[in-house]
């Protein structure tokens, strides 16, 4: 069975119009890994479009900086210091959001770790498990705990951040590549299961972006040659809007194309 990603259609014209017109007023948006990088930029972009942000990250200081940035532009946020490996904490968050809001409208699963850059035979079990716990298992728990809240929305939207490594399977990046490939399958399964509901579930592949994680993995790379998290985040916002109708797709930021999966 061939499940390679194939182009669905060119969305360039659609994006240029839609990026200027998205309104997320009164929408509740949960963003993981929100204290820096793409998560930080996405939380700011969603807040500028009118959403109330539920920002999740391990670092309190990073969350407070995000809160200052969002409030500076007139937005609002709820800060949730939480390690994504805390499955019980994710469940408690789901219960708290149900009690406070009764729903969520947007879920952005962005939190991730790079893991070791080594041959597979040189990687110990613990760092392997650590990568799988954050990049895969935590997102599974998010789906379990947030789906009922998304179903309570009139137009629940979920976007998970993946990576080109999931398709390319580069050497020395085994745990990261495997975890992202598994995440893509997990998200596609969920998209299939929710296809007959108002929930739309998709993937976003940013490509090389100027983030701290990228600098750690590629220390010799000139970061000024890369696009910024703010630039990428602008393309996540339309995928979170009620008007977005696609599900089970992958938006490739590098090529600006929405990709479908073929089972031929």
Percentage of the chain surpassing pLDDT 90?
Answer: 71
- What the chain holds in terms of domains, given with CATH numbers, is 5-261 (3.40.50.720)
Rounded CA gap, 61 and 96, in Å? 22
Residue 165 pLDDT level (bands cut at 50, 70, 90): confident
Mean pLDDT of the chain: 88
* pLDDT tops 90 at residue 209: no
Residue 164 pLDDT level (bands cut at 50, 70, 90): confident
Segment 71-102, tens digit of pLDDT? 998 999 999 999 999 999 999 999 999 999 99
Average pLDDT over residues 154-162: 97
Q: Which of 7-16, 23-32, 251-260 has the lowest mean pLDDT?
A: 7-16
Residue 141 pLDDT level (bands cut at 50, 70, 90): very high
Rounded CA gap, 20 and 49, in Å? 10
pTM of the predicted structure, to 2 decimals:
0.90
Which residue out of 9, 40, 172, 176 is catalytically annotated?
176
**Residue 99 class from Cβ within 10 Å (0-12 exposed, 13-18 middle, 19+ buried)?**
exposed
216 vs 233, more confident = 233
Average pLDDT over residues 203-208: 84
81: which strand partners? 57
The pLDDT value recorded for residue 217 is: 54
Rounded CA gap, 165 and 106, in Å? 26
* pLDDT tops 60 at residue 13: no
Sign of CA dihedral 225, 161, 61, 115: negative
Helix (H, G, I), strand (E, B) or coil at 155: coil
Segment 41-78, tens digit of pLDDT? 999 999 999 999 999 999 999 999 999 999 998 999 99
Average pLDDT over residues 201-223: 71
Judge whether 172 counts as a catalytic residue.
Answer: no
First to last CA, the chain: 6
The pLDDT value recorded for residue 208 is: 64
């Amino acid at each position: 069975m061939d499940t390679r990603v194939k182009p669905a259609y060119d969305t360039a014209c659609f994006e240029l119009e839609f990026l200027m017109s998205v309104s997320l007023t009164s929408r509740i948006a949960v963003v993981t890994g929100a204290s820096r990088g793409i998560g930080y930029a996405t939380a700011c972009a969603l807040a500028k479009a009118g959403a109330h942000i539920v920002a999740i990250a391990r670092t309190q200081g990073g969350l407070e900086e995000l809160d200052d940035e969002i409030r500076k532009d007139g937005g609002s946020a709820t800060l949730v210091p939480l390690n994504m490996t805390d499955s019980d904490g994710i469940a408690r968050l789901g219960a708290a959001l149900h009690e406070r809001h009764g729903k969520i409208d947007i879920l952005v699963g962005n939190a991730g770790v790079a893991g070791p850059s080594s041959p597979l035979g040189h990687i110990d079990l613990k760092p392997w498990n650590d990568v799988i716990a954050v990049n895969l298992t935590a997102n599974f728990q998010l789906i379990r705990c947030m789906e009922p809240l998304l179903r309570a929305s009139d137009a629940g939207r979920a976007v998970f951040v993946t990576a080109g490594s999931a398709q390319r399977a580069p050497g020395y990046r085994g745990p990261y590549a495997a975890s992202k490939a598994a995440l893509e399958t997990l998200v596609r399964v969920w998209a299939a299961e929710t296809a007959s509901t108002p929930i739309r579930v998709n993937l976003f592949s940013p490509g090389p972006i100027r983030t701290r994680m990228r600098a750690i993995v590629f220390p010799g790379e000139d970061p000024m040659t890369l696009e910024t998290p703010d630039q990428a985040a602008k393309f996540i916002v339309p995928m979170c809007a009620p008007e977005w109708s696609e599900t089970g797709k992958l938006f490739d930021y590098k090529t600006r194309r929405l990709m479908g999966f073929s089972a031929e």
